[in-house]
Structure 1
Amino acid sequence: MPKPSLAQVGQGDPAVLAHPGYRAFPPCALPLQTDAARAEYDSTGRLIWNAGRLSKDMHIALSAYASCFDQIQRISAEGLTPRASWYTNLQKALARLKLDDIDKPISAPKEAPVNRFARFGFPSRR
């Protein structure tokens, strides 16, 4: 699947109007009760959205993943032990999202030194 242009993900020319399907991030299809699940839905959904892979099927898988995550968070907050099958369902929903196929940047720690030659493509040798 080709990557979307920058105009499609909201980073292109301001004079170009995006299709309505590219403008708004859809809410979760299932009700979420915990803030942690809403944050997980938003962060994982934005990752898929920015990669240009958010389709109806992907949205349903993302909603199922967030719902499983919500259920585990809610039960854990009550002091109860979540069922093992809930973790299995969470892993299955996560596998359906295929996040490993997305080119996601790996962030470095804040205290990591900055390579002064990184912009030019040369390694920093001292």
Structure 2
Amino acid sequence: MKVKIINKSKHDLPKYSTALSAGMDLRANINETVMLQPLERTLIPTGLFIELPAGYEAQIRPRSGMALKEGITVLNTPGTIDADYRGEIRVILANLSNSMVEINDGDRICQMVVAAHATVEWEAVEELEETVRAAGGFGHTGKE
């Protein structure tokens, strides 16, 4: 699938790291280092603008290495970029660690997965079909 992109950043276009990767890393496009304090959040620009086809979204997800090693996550994960959005892709990063984390220009800050989605039409009814699970949730099957 081809997707139109405008790259106003100082960096190459996002790319897949391996042949079977689902996500592409996005890079920070900032003029000065951001010092992210513990429990602080900030909006980091990427310099990228995309035009997705109808029926698709781009999901913005944390990078597992940053989450494990530095405590950095995408706050509203997954962030959703709708097909009709034309603004810059910006990422809400949060520092969940006990230490300050430095975000530099060009750092890989998140990954983006482009995925198809369905559009639903609601059908109002009085009853739903019965299942074995019924309304069970939130750990109803136990730990084993």
The interval holding the TM-score normalised by the smaller chain is under 0.3
Q: Which has the higher strand share?
A: 2
Which has the higher relative contact order, 1 or 2, with Cα contacts under 8 A spaced 6 or more apart? 2
TM-score relative to the length of structure 2? 0.20
TM-score relative to the length of structure 1? 0.22
